[in-house]
Amino acid sequence: MRVSAIMKTHSVPHDCGFRTILSLATPHHMLCDHVDISQAFVQGDFLPGDGYNGKVYISPPPGFREDQGYVYLLSRPLYGIPSPARAWHTTMSAYLKSKGCAHVGFERSMWCVTIKRHTILIASHIDDFMLACADRAMLDTFRQGLLARFDGTYEGEVHTYLGCEIERDMGAGRTLLSQRHFAEDVLRIFAMWDCTPAIRKRCSMLTWDFFPNIMLGKKSHF
C-alpha cells in the first residue's frame, strides 16, 4: 500500500516560529518553560485507515520465538511504521484543541490560548514543547495538565531549543539567541576549528537597490 508523504510527516514550526514567541515573550515579561515528551510517537493514537481495517499487525521481532502463523496486533504506533509522526501530531493537536488552543496563522505546530485573561503561547517541535505565559501559576497549571495527558518531563525554564542557546534577562527585558556550540561542533567535526578565515572584500556594487530588482524580476548587473 502506498502512503502519501503528508501522512508520514509531522508538522513542525518554521525556523522563525519559536523566535517569534521569544520576541513576544520578552517585552511582555512572559516566562518560558521547556517540556520534553517521552517516546512521543508511541503516545499517539492510530489514524483512521492505518493498517488493515484500522488495525496494524506486525510479525514477531527477530530472535523472539513464536508459533508460525501468528502476528501481533499493535495497540500504539511504533517507530518505523508509515505514519507514527502524523498520528502523534493528530493526537497532540486534538488534546490542545480540547483545551481551547487555536493555531497561530498558518503554523500547524504553534498554538495560542487565553485562560482567565492570561495568554499562553505554545510551540511544539515533535516532542519538544515551549510554553510561554506571563503568569507563573497559570503556566504551571497548563504544563501539569499537558504532562498528565502525555508522559514526559519538565525541563525547567527554556535554555536551549532547536539547537539554539537562549539567555534571558527578565529585568533588562533582553533575550539573546546563540548557536555558538552548534557552530563549534560543526567546525570541529570537519577539522575546520583552527582554520584561518578567508578575507573577502565587500562588493561595493551590491547595494540595497539591488534587492528590489530581484523582487520585481528586473535584470541587475554587478
Residue with more model confidence, 71 or 54: 71
Q: Which residues does 165 contact at the CB level (< 8 Å), separation at least 6?
A: 159, 177, 178, 179, 180, 181
Q: Model confidence at 157, in pLDDT bands (50, 70, 90)?
A: very high
Burial 148-185 (b: 16+ CB within 10 A, else e): ebbebebbeebeebbebebebeeeeeebeeeeeeeeee
Name the 3-class secondary structure at 170: coil
Across residues 160-188, what is the average pLDDT? 88
Give the pLDDT confidence score for residue 209 in this predicted structure: 47
Report domain extents, the chain: 5-189
More confident residue, 20 or 52: 20
- C-alpha cell at position 191: 577539522
Q: Is the pLDDT of residue 151 over 80?
A: yes
What's the pLDDT at 220?
Answer: 39
pLDDT at residue 197 above 50?
A: yes
pLDDT by residue (tens digit) across 14-42? 667 888 899 999 999 999 999 999 999 99
CA 99/CA 145 separation, integer angstroms: 10
